[in-house]
Amino acid sequence: MPFIPYNQFVIETPLPVEKVVEALSQVVQPKRFWPNPFSEDRKQFEGWVTKDGFRVVRNIYYLNSFIPLIKGRFGSSDSGTRIIITMVTHPFVILTFGLVFAFFGYFLFTFLMGLISGIFAIIGCLALAYTVYTLAFKRESALDRKSLVKLFSNQDKAS
């Protein structure tokens, strides 16, 4: 899926896989049907962690379609553990985002001009939607990347 925004990176840590899973489990809570935003046990991420990998999303209590789904898997390296992280967005979200831009662009420009310029408006609005969505996704994934790198760099110092 080349048109789906994603971000992939690797974190190397000297910790064994068990310690990495334990550290990640401390900041991940299971997905809840009706979460309490004022709960004392609210954690930074929501999802699941196993010894093979994890799948989490940032734990927020507002709507934000740009937040990436974070998938990771653990591998061994010479110095400890290699964490391979991929941040992706759901294809339905970017499709909906593009269609909304195209819909409004088409009706705006066909109202103002003719049918031929309306087709160009659709293409332009789809390109604009993709650009806006990709930039917003990159911003949100940078925040998640920063927090994950910080989590494992703090674990390196603690051990």
- List pLDDT tens digits, range 106-121: 777 766 666 556 677 7
Q: Which residues pair with 69 in a beta bridge?
A: 88
Rounded average pLDDT over 87-95: 83
pLDDT at 35 over 80: no
H/E stretch holding 76: strand 69-77
Sign for the CA dihedral angle at 134, 57, 140, 8 comes to: negative
Map tokens 């309306």 to a residue: 118
Rounded average pLDDT over 75-96: 86
- pTM score > 0.85 for this model? no
Mean pLDDT for all residues in the chain: 81
Separation CA 82–CA 101 (nearest Å):
40
Tell me the per-residue pLDDT of 13-31, one tens digit each, with 9 for 90 and over: 888 889 999 989 999 988 8
Of 8-17, 36-45, 77-86, 149-158, minimum mean pLDDT range: 149-158
Tell me the per-residue pLDDT of 48-83, one tens digit each, with 9 for 90 and over: 999 999 999 988 877 777 888 999 999 888 888 899
Separation CA 66–CA 133 (nearest Å):
7
H/E stretch holding 111: helix 91-112
pLDDT of residue 73: 93
- Which domains can be identified in the chain, with CATH numbers? 6-93+124-158 (3.30.530)
Strand 69-77 vs strand 53-58: parallel, antiparallel, or unpaired?
Answer: antiparallel
The number of residues making up the chain comes to: 159
Other beta carbons within 10 angstroms of residue 9's beta carbon come to 13
Separation CA 48–CA 71 (nearest Å):
10
The two three-digit tokens of residue 10, written as one number: 């690797």
pLDDT of residue 1: 47
Rounded average pLDDT over 120-137: 82
pLDDT of residue 24: 92
Nearest one of 80, 95, 20 to 28, comparing CA atoms:
20
